[in-house]
Amino acid sequence: MRGPSEIVTRTEGPLILGGGLAGSMAALELARAGRSVTLLEKSTGPHDKVCGEFLSRESLLYFERHRIDPGALGGMPIDTVRLVTSKFSRESALPFAAWSLTRRTLDEEMLRLAAQSGVQVVRGTCVTALERQRDRWSVSFQNDEAMQADNLFLATGKHNLPGWTRPAGRQSDLVAFKMYYRLTARQHQELGRAVELVLFPGGYAGLQPVENGVVNLCLLIQSNHLKHTGAPWAGVLQHVLRHSPHLEKRLGGAAPLLQKPLAASRIPYGHLETRQEDGLWRIGDQAAVIPSFCGDGMAIALHSGALAAAHFLQGSSAPVYQIRLYHQLRRRMGAATRLSQVLVGFPLAAQLLRLFPYLLPAIALMTRIPNKALAAVERMEG
């Protein structure tokens, strides 16, 4: 409901809520097609995000379209994946080129490009309410201000806007932590250009180098394990290191670089949006939340942003886009979620992963955005 003192602005073109990768990508694509676009983002400037920061081949394809070069931004090439359990370690060359880059750098670059392309980027604006009023969307934010738009792209990430709840997802019992470290020179060298996936009871961790000689440790643990680990971060780390001599070695003598880890809970992993009747353009994690071990969530954010923009520019509707995205991702999302459940829930199944180097191409194929789906965006624009 509108308050009597509320200042309401009407935007001409589409309004995008959230300036992560999905929101920025949609904004860029729309602006470069000549549309007037407004994007509201709650953060006021560069900030860290809970994310493993692994950029898959699919993400890189979208960067190429917009001439974003992770290397020029200080990112690190990643060419190896190492799977480590308490019993064994297996290593394989990645079947595709990959990079790592902090979200602090990447998200800012995307927003900068969007602004440079003519998007009106409004920072420091936290949306507090969204409602449909007859034929238009009405968005409220702090200071009794509101905005109205005919078309709205919802890109606010994994958590819900007040009043816009989604199903919990098929694996929503994981809690995520992220910490940056500076390893000893020897451990940094041993890590090399690898992303290490480390399994431990109740969860898994990803470790990889990012820019400036720093490494990112991002881990997920089942919430019921937190009851036994005691104090959130210290207890979790103790639990992980007790069960992973490998990580204990890597982090020996390492300096933590954040005062406290970033954390997120109630992540709706496995959620794939099926609702279309309200006409909202849901993109990024608002549309699909793939388990983190796949390292493809950012690619889905970029892909869904671009796909939604392409549909919008063709005069198609949000429901048509939403159904298309659903069919593109359904099988991959199902396979990725089942695999994630196995990784954290069934330690004996980890024995199968001794075959990891042979399984990797099949796992990659089963869990990544299909090539056909990526090509669909190009075709729509062509």
Ligand X SMILES: Cc1cc2nc3c(=O)[nH]c(=O)nc-3n(C[C@H](O)[C@H](O)[C@H](O)COP(=O)(O)OP(=O)(O)OC[C@H]3O[C@@H](n4cnc5c(N)ncnc54)[C@H](O)[C@@H]3O)c2cc1C
Angstrom distances, CA of residue 292 to CA of 80, 135, 144, 234, 333: 17, 37, 37, 22, 11
β-partners of residue 153 are 16, 281
Cβ at position 284, least distance to ligand X in Å: 2
Smallest separation, CB 253 to ligand X (Å):
25
What distance in Å separates the CA atoms of residue 168 and residue 216, rounded to the nearest whole number?
Answer: 27
Nearest to 179 by CA among 246, 97, 259: 259
Contact 283, 308 (CB under 8 A): yes
Which of 250/271 has CB closer to ligand X? 271
Nearest CB to ligand X, comparing residues 161 and 215:
161
Are residues 175 and 264 in contact, defined by beta-carbon separation less than 8 angstroms? yes
- Spatial contact of 30 and 13, defined as CB atoms under 8 Å apart: yes
Which CB, 254 or 262, lies closer to ligand X?
262
Q: Write down the least CB distance from residue 351 to ligand X, Å.
A: 25
22 vs 350 by CB, closer to ligand X: 22
To ligand X, the closest distance from the beta carbon of 325 in angstroms equals 13
CB closer to ligand X out of 33 and 263: 263
Which is closer to ligand X, CB of 56 or CB of 85? 56
Q: Which among 263, 268, 265, 266 is positioned nearest to 288, based on CA atoms?
A: 268
Least distance CB 281 / ligand X (angstroms) = 12
Q: Cα 169 to the chain's mean position, in Å?
A: 15
Least distance CB 302 / ligand X (angstroms): 8
Question: Could you tell me the smallest distance in angstroms from the CB atom of residue 311 to ligand X?
Answer: 17
Nearer to ligand X, 75 or 157 (CB): 157
* Minimum distance of ligand X from residue 41's CB (angstroms): 5
Q: Which of 21, 200, 171 is nearest to 106 (CA)?
A: 21
Nearer to ligand X, 46 or 253 (CB): 46
- The two tokens of residue 86 are 């308490």
CB 215 within 8 A of CB 209: yes
How many DSSP H helices and E strands does the chain contain? 11, 18
Tokens of 288: 């699909």
Question: What's the token pair of residue 297?
Answer: 């969530």
Which residues of the shown chain bind ligand X in the complex (CB under 6 A)? 17-23, 40-43, 49-54, 56, 125-127, 155-158, 161, 176, 218, 220, 264, 267, 284-285, 292, 295-299, 301
Asked whether the beta carbons of 267 and 174 are under 8 A apart, the reply is: yes
